[in-house]
Chains A and B, each alone.
Chain A
């Protein structure tokens, strides 16, 4: 069912003039964040649409963070961590690996285009891969247009319901 809807929604992609995709990237500190730094020290250029949130380990990436990003206005989300076997915390990324397919499934069930969510491993040395990934993700999110989650959820009869205050301090 998601496939069908995805196609329906992809066609119009009525992006307002001057619209730029807003993409949030959750990166682990040890590999992927350092990989992003590596892209910088190598002076590779990539679009400014991706904003990085640094966490110590990709295992910290609670699926709720990803859903909240969409609910709060992100058009796309990237999740990057160390390659399997390279985790600074031994097996933190194994948990990421287990969680992300679920996230993908929930997003599909909500009718969110698959282009909007990307999970990739990026090592500290893979600056080039990171830059390429940012370019690719920006383009594929641009191709599906703005997400407008609140509006879309209203159409589907789902409240976005994720309020910062409910997380407590």
Chain B
């Protein structure tokens, strides 16, 4: 260990000279010290003004290493600490807590990255040593200007709002309620169940989707702490983590629980419209139930198709149906919000693989409805006539699209991501068909088979064993669907098979199934209300895909399920449980701690020009009209510092990243202590 006290004369550096800085340089067991001459670094740094201690340690993050910091802080009266070790993303919090234990404010600290950004990337030992000296000198220079900061603490209202009544929302609501929280679950549509209710059976267990769904729904609706609102959506929200006040608008259902003989009311309705539950394969009345066993077990009125003729009211003797019901608005006060708004299946464009032109071209979602015994055809693949003998599946429809090959969608983008669920779902459906009609010939046009989940690869194996043909097409040359010129079958699918060296394969088909993927559900209103980050694929974006996978950058807002990206049901449920746990953690703490690096306005410098108001992504700055200056709402400020960069008078400083801090770091980097 090299220790050296010092108050040597540095190169005329600005800043308080009465500070006592302790610098701890980590060997990281050789990870750093094999490349960086740590002894020389410690000696050089020890000569900087204000550095009371500069020493090395084998593992500063270890218990003895941390104990050493504590001891030296107390023994030498250090009032600033610099640790030069690995990346701050790994151990910055560790050392802040060490300072806390040593009785020093944890923000009188600077972490220097001499492993990921020095010893692991610089080959030359001399250059690595010099770079380490520069970086640590800069940190020493910067830490002088650190001031004690306090973490912000915000009380949390112990209730949660879950938006979306599909499988992810239901799981999240149930988990939160089981932890003792008051939960409000809202669903925009008149019935719970979401996309899962439209499936026939689910992989990899083969259970019926609606059996699982009704089990889950009954757990949720019977739970004393959960309130379920259907036909309800967020109309607006105020507040922030711990204290969200959300306005919920409930559209009229037109039916209440006094209704008896709802079947009579439905039968009496003269208006018919396309049934979106069956993806247009059937029609339904203007007063309808989405599916057998749906919740709430009450019909709803579709106001777009209802003419208010009153025949349903007459059919039930006037009780339980109110055609003049008005929308209501309620306010819900909660600490956390879970977004479980789900997805929309990709809707092929008119003419894409013949979709919309040939009635025998259907989507995977429609196939699922056809396979359903309670579906529009009672489980038969065609409404009338013999079952299809030859079926062709085309994979990656509305997924993994290629710029220039595929037509952009309405939003001007192509769907270039893998939709993840459709490979297994298609093979699952193909096997289902094989089970009912073993003689069916199934041909699959695919790019790659991505049956990635546990128990999913078996679908691929079983499908291969049962004679499903796999034809691999090139992403830039998707197969074509045309009427069969030989008229042996209604359609013919032509594709180049990469596995046979690009041989053109013609596959006659009685039915073509487009394995349409998961596309984002448009929630631009919610994105605006909760300032959500959205990825380039239009799905919601988490803070970090690995370290904080279910949190949004807006504190207190969490993600569950397919609003974040394509997921199968297992993954959506896992995400929902994770989101519920994270949300519960927030609430359990009763108050939440947030980094103190927020913006602060110096009233004496602020001219009230309002430049900062326009650049803040979180609308956290408002003008104090009485005093004519900008005012930061500290609970809304996330600490990006954009306003500090924009302020023409330097009146806004970002705590922890003030101009003087960044500039002294910059200055020291360019005029380092001589090595």
Asked, given contacts A60-B640, A91-B617, whether A36 binds B670 with beta carbons under 8 Å apart, the answer is no
Q: How far is the CB of A26 from chain B (nearest CB, A)?
A: 9
| Across-interface contacts of A160 in B (CB, < 8 A) | none
Partner of B617, one of A53, A55, A63, A89: A89
Query: In the complex the two chains form, is B660's CB within 8 Å of A57's CB?
Result: no
Q: Is B515 positioned at the interface, with any CB of A under 8 Å from its CB?
A: no
How far is A164 from B135 in the complex, measured between Cα atoms in Å?
Answer: 19
How far is A74 from B666 in the complex, measured between Cα atoms in Å?
Answer: 9
Q: Is A169 positioned at the interface, with any CB of B under 8 Å from its CB?
A: yes
Q: Is B644 positioned at the interface, with any CB of A under 8 Å from its CB?
A: yes
How far is A99 from B135 in the complex, measured between Cα atoms in Å?
Answer: 27
Q: Is B326 positioned at the interface, with any CB of A under 8 Å from its CB?
A: no
Q: Which of A27-51 contact B (CB under 8 A)?
A: 30, 33-34, 36-37, 39-41, 43-48, 51
Q: Is A90 positioned at the interface, with any CB of B under 8 Å from its CB?
A: yes
| Across-interface contacts of A116 in B (CB, < 8 A) | none
Most buried by A among B533, B650, B660: B533
Q: How far is the CB of A102 from chain B (nearest CB, A)?
A: 12
Query: In the complex the two chains form, is A37's CB within 8 Å of B534's CB?
Result: no
Query: In the complex the two chains form, is B640's CB within 8 Å of A168's CB?
Result: no
Number of A-B residue pairs having CB atoms within 8 Å of each other in the complex: 155
Segment among A3-11, A79-87, A106-114, A150-158 that sits at the interface with chain B: A79-87
Q: How far is the CB of B472 from chain A (nearest CB, A)?
A: 28
Q: Which of A132-169 contact B (CB under 8 A)?
A: 164-165, 167-169
Q: Is A104 positioned at the interface, with any CB of B under 8 Å from its CB?
A: no
Asked, given contacts A37-B113, A51-B138, A92-B617, whether A87 binds B663 with beta carbons under 8 Å apart, the answer is no
Most buried by A among B534, B617, B664: B617
Query: In the complex the two chains form, is A68's CB within 8 Å of B666's CB?
Result: yes
Q: Is B380 positioned at the interface, with any CB of A under 8 Å from its CB?
A: no
| Across-interface contacts of A59 in B (CB, < 8 A) | 615, 617, 640-642, 645
Q: How far is the CB of A56 from chain B (nearest CB, A)?
A: 6
| Across-interface contacts of A37 in B (CB, < 8 A) | 87, 89, 113, 116-117
Q: How far is the CB of B615 from chain A (nearest CB, A)?
A: 6
Q: Is A122 positioned at the interface, with any CB of B under 8 Å from its CB?
A: no
Q: Is B446 positioned at the interface, with any CB of A under 8 Å from its CB?
A: no
Q: Is A124 positioned at the interface, with any CB of B under 8 Å from its CB?
A: yes
Q: How far is the CB of B520 from chain A (nearest CB, A)?
A: 13
Query: In the complex the two chains form, is B88's CB within 8 Å of A51's CB?
Result: no
Residue of B nearest to A70 (CB): B670
Query: In the complex the two chains form, is A88's CB within 8 Å of B533's CB?
Result: yes
How far is A54 from B641 in the complex, measured between Cα atoms in Å?
Answer: 12
Q: How far is the CB of B375 from chain A (nearest CB, A)?
A: 39
Partner of A53, one of B124, B618, B662: B662
Partner of B128, one of A48, A89, A131: A48
How far is A165 from B12 in the complex, measured between Cα atoms in Å?
Answer: 13
Q: Is B127 positioned at the interface, with any CB of A under 8 Å from its CB?
A: yes
Query: In the complex the two chains form, is B640's CB within 8 Å of A36's CB?
Result: no
Q: Is A118 positioned at the interface, with any CB of B under 8 Å from its CB?
A: no
Count residues of B near A (Cβ-Cβ below 8 Å): 58
How far is A140 from B234 in the complex, measured between Cα atoms in Å?
Answer: 53
Query: In the complex the two chains form, is B641's CB within 8 Å of A40's CB?
Result: no
How far is A45 from B531 in the complex, measured between Cα atoms in Å?
Answer: 39
How far is A83 from B640 in the complex, measured between Cα atoms in Å?
Answer: 16
Query: In the complex the two chains form, is A89's CB within 8 Å of B638's CB?
Result: yes
How far is A18 from B646 in the complex, measured between Cα atoms in Å?
Answer: 39
Query: In the complex the two chains form, is B14's CB within 8 Å of A69's CB?
Result: no
Query: In the complex the two chains form, is B618's CB within 8 Å of A90's CB?
Result: yes
Q: Is B586 positioned at the interface, with any CB of A under 8 Å from its CB?
A: no
Most buried by B among A46, A56, A69, A74: A56
How far is A29 from B138 in the complex, measured between Cα atoms in Å?
Answer: 17
Query: In the complex the two chains form, is B657's CB within 8 Å of A55's CB?
Result: yes
Query: In the complex the two chains form, is A56's CB within 8 Å of B666's CB?
Result: no
Most buried by B among A24, A59, A65, A72: A59
| Across-interface contacts of A24 in B (CB, < 8 A) | 666, 669-670
Q: Is A78 positioned at the interface, with any CB of B under 8 Å from its CB?
A: no
Query: In the complex the two chains form, is A40's CB within 8 Å of B671's CB?
Result: no
Residue ranges of A at the interface with B (Cβ–Cβ < 8 Å): 22, 24, 30, 33-34, 36-37, 39-41, 43-48, 51-57, 59-63, 65, 68-69, 72-74, 83-92, 95, 99, 124, 131, 164-165, 167-169
- Given A39-B121, A45-B121, 20 extra CB contacts under 8 A: A30-B544, A34-B89, A37-B87, A39-B116, A40-B120, A40-B121, A44-B121, A62-B645, A72-B670, A73-B670, A87-B533, A88-B533, A89-B553, A90-B531, A92-B617, A95-B642, A99-B645, A169-B145, A169-B658, A169-B660
